[in-house]
């Protein structure tokens, strides 16, 4: 009966970690998955998370089911973190927030909503984008196409191309946008460019779908990293936002995030929320409680909240330090006139090196540096001690 099942290909991102585990070399370095490591290249559990867990244990919380929409205190906290507690849309109760299974599950729930209520409406995604976006939309049965985003010539944003493609899309399309720290390129629009994107969305009656997986992790400031979303909300645009606490609270395995839908009235918000719950019930019934309690505790306690911000800034700062060191090593070691400054301009966890598939293969086969085949490296998995080695590997792969 199962003989006809063929072998699925390895996941382009998580498959890298599997290959890394199989490699016995001392040189090996895993820059594939975007997970924060310490300077000793060890996984990191935030001190504030341990503190919240201790408090939770002492409170003796039970393990009863959560409601379908998740933990109320979490949903309130997450919408306020995203939009700002005093945002009029929160006061006017125009936001439908449902706890999701981290960023992926929240995107998936949003996609299921689109499939059901906007059948046939196309979602435009950036070229390139986080690989799972395509899987999520495909599995939800939502049609998509790409808009230009990355310009290989400048290793920067192809803003003209992006705007032209968004303008060209049929009116009322859905535009998937990375709220901050675009994955995989690390290149974000400037505030002026965001305004122009919002202009086109309004002209064309497009609806943005923001993916916010790095709030606070890009700049170190939760408010600055949410400014793209808040700009659109302030214009009265209806939109979706998927959130994730994998990176900024280091809660990767807890699967905690949310889907928020900002709509025109409290009545509409209530109805949209009821339909999100209806979609969630047969998929997974209700979400896990542990991560939701951690977030609610951290955000709800001013001291812990400040501690979180300090730890987040330290993580973002460590990544900026290795970014600078990698750039220094690349520009000293490379004797050609190649300009490596794009490494410094990119933000967030990643650097998009411009290495093609063959060059990325060389990085892994010869240098034991594990990375995705699109040339993306996770700087969160790099330390200062390995920057010189990595620069050698990149230069060798680039010119050979």
Choose between 244 and 359: whose C-beta lies nearer to ligand PMP.
244
Q: Does 378 interact with ligand PMP (rule: CB under 6 A)? A: no
C-alpha distance from residue 223 to each of 80, 181, 395 (Å):
11, 14, 37
Residues in contact with ligand PMP, shown as a per-residue x/- string from 258 to 297 under the rule CB under 6 A: ----------------------------------------
- Rounded CA gap, 61 and 335, in Å? 61
Q: Does 228 interact with ligand PMP (rule: CB under 6 A)? A: no
Span of 39-47, 100-108, 339-347, 369-377 interacting with ligand PMP by CB under 6 A = 100-108
Q: Nearest residue by C-beta to ligand PMP?
A: 103
Q: Does 213 interact with ligand PMP (rule: CB under 6 A)? A: yes
Q: Does 126 interact with ligand PMP (rule: CB under 6 A)? A: no
- Which residues, in sequence order, are bridge partners of residue 175? 124, 208
If you search the block for the tokens 């520009």, which residue do you land on? 331
End-to-end CA distance of the chain: 48
Active site residue 211: yes
- Rounded CA gap, 176 and 167, in Å? 14
Choose between 135 and 227: whose C-beta lies nearer to ligand PMP.
135
Interface with ligand PMP (CB under 6 A), residue from 69, 158, 211, 307: 211
Quote the least distance from Cβ 21 to ligand PMP, whole Å: 19
If you search the block for the tokens 């449902």, which residue do you land on? 98
Alpha helices in the chain (DSSP H): 14-22, 47-59, 72-83, 88-91, 102-117, 132-140, 159-168, 191-204, 222-225, 227-234, 266-284, 290-300, 302-333, 342-345, 357-365, 387-399
Interface with ligand PMP (CB under 6 A), residue from 30, 75, 115, 244: 244
Active site residue 247: yes
Span of 101-109, 159-167, 228-236, 383-391 interacting with ligand PMP by CB under 6 A = 101-109
Rg of the chain over all Cα atoms, to the nearest angstrom = 21
Name the nearest CA neighbour of 234 among 198, 207, 261, 258: 198
Q: Does 372 interact with ligand PMP (rule: CB under 6 A)? A: no
Q: Does 128 interact with ligand PMP (rule: CB under 6 A)? A: no
Q: Does 187 interact with ligand PMP (rule: CB under 6 A)? A: no
C-alpha distance from residue 62 to each of 57, 100, 290 (Å):
10, 20, 10
Q: Does 179 interact with ligand PMP (rule: CB under 6 A)? A: no
Span of 17-25, 96-104, 318-326, 358-366 interacting with ligand PMP by CB under 6 A = 96-104
Interface with ligand PMP (CB under 6 A), residue from 20, 36, 130, 342: 130
Choose between 70 and 103: whose C-beta lies nearer to ligand PMP.
103
**Number of residues in contact with ligand PMP under rule CB under 6 A:** 13
Alpha helices in 69-154 (DSSP H): 72-83, 88-91, 102-117, 132-140
C-alpha distance from residue 163 to each of 121, 128, 160 (Å):
19, 15, 5
Q: Does 220 interact with ligand PMP (rule: CB under 6 A)? A: no
Interface with ligand PMP (CB under 6 A), residue from 30, 104, 346, 378: 104
Choose between 131 and 300: whose C-beta lies nearer to ligand PMP.
131
Q: Are strands 123-127 and 144-148 parallel, antiparallel or unpaired?
A: parallel
Choose between 94 and 133: whose C-beta lies nearer to ligand PMP.
133
Name the nearest CA neighbour of 27 among 381, 392, 369: 369
Active-site residue, from 130, 144, 308, 340: 130
Q: What SS3 state is found at 153?
A: coil
- Which residues, in sequence order, are bridge partners of residue 376? 352
**Distance of alpha carbon 97 from its chain centroid, rounded?**
18
- Which residues, in sequence order, are bridge partners of residue 369? 29
Active-site residue, from 51, 247, 373, 386: 247
If you search the block for the tokens 């299921």, which residue do you land on? 112
What residues are annotated to the active site? Answer: 130, 211, 247
Task: Summarize as ranges the residues that interact with ligand PMP (CB under 6 A).
Answer: 34, 102-104, 130, 178, 183, 211, 213, 244, 246, 252, 257
């Amino acid at each position: 009966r199962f003989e006809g099942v063929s072998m699925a290909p390895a996941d382009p991102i998580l498959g890298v970690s599997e290959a890394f585990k199989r490699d016995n070399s001392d040189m090996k370095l895993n820059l594939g998955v975007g997970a924060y490591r310490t300077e000793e290249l060890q996984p990191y559990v935030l001190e504030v998370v341990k503190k919240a867990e201790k408090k939770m244990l002492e409170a003796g919380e039970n393990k009863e089911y959560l409601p379908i929409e998740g933990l109320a205190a979490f949903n309130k906290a997450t919408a306020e973190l995203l939009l700002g507690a005093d945002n009029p849309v929160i006061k006017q109760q125009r936001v439908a927030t449902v706890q999701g299974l981290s960023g992926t599950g929240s995107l998936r729930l949003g996609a299921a909503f689109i499939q059901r209520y906007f059948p046939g409406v196309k979602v435009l995604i950036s070229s390139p984008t986080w690989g799972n976006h395509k899987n999520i939309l495909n599995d939800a049965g939502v049609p998509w196409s790409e808009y230009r985003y990355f310009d290989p010539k400048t290793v920067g944003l192809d803003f003209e191309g992006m705007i032209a493609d968004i303008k060209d899309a049929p009116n009322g399309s859905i535009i998937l946008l990375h709220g901050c720290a675009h994955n995989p390129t690390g290149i974000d629009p400037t505030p002026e460019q965001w305004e122009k994107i919002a202009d086109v969305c309004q002209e064309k009656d497009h609806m943005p779908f923001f993916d916010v997986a790095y709030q606070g992790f890009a700049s170190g400031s939760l408010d600055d990293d949410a400014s793209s979303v808040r700009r659109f909300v302030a214009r009265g645009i209806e939109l979706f936002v998927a959130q994730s606490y994998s990176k900024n609270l280091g809660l990767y395995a807890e699967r905690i995030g949310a889907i928020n839908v900002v709509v025109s009235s409290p009545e509409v918000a209530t109805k949209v929320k009821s339909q999100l719950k209806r979609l969630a019930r047969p998929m997974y019934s209700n979400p896990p409680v542990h991560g939701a309690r951690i977030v609610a505790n951290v955000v709800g306690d001013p001291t812990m909240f400040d501690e979180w911000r300090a730890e987040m800034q330290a993580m973002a700062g460590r990544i900026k330090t290795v970014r600078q060191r990698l750039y220094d090593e690349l520009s000293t070691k490379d004797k050609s006139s190649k300009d490596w400054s794009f490494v410094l301009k990119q933000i967030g966890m990643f650097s998009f090196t411009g290495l093609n598939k063959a060059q990325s293969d060389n990085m892994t086969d010869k240098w034991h540096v594990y990375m995705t085949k699109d040339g993306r490296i996770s700087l969160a998995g790099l330390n200062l001690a390995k920057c010189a080695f990595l620069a050698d590997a990149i230069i060798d792969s680039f010119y050979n």
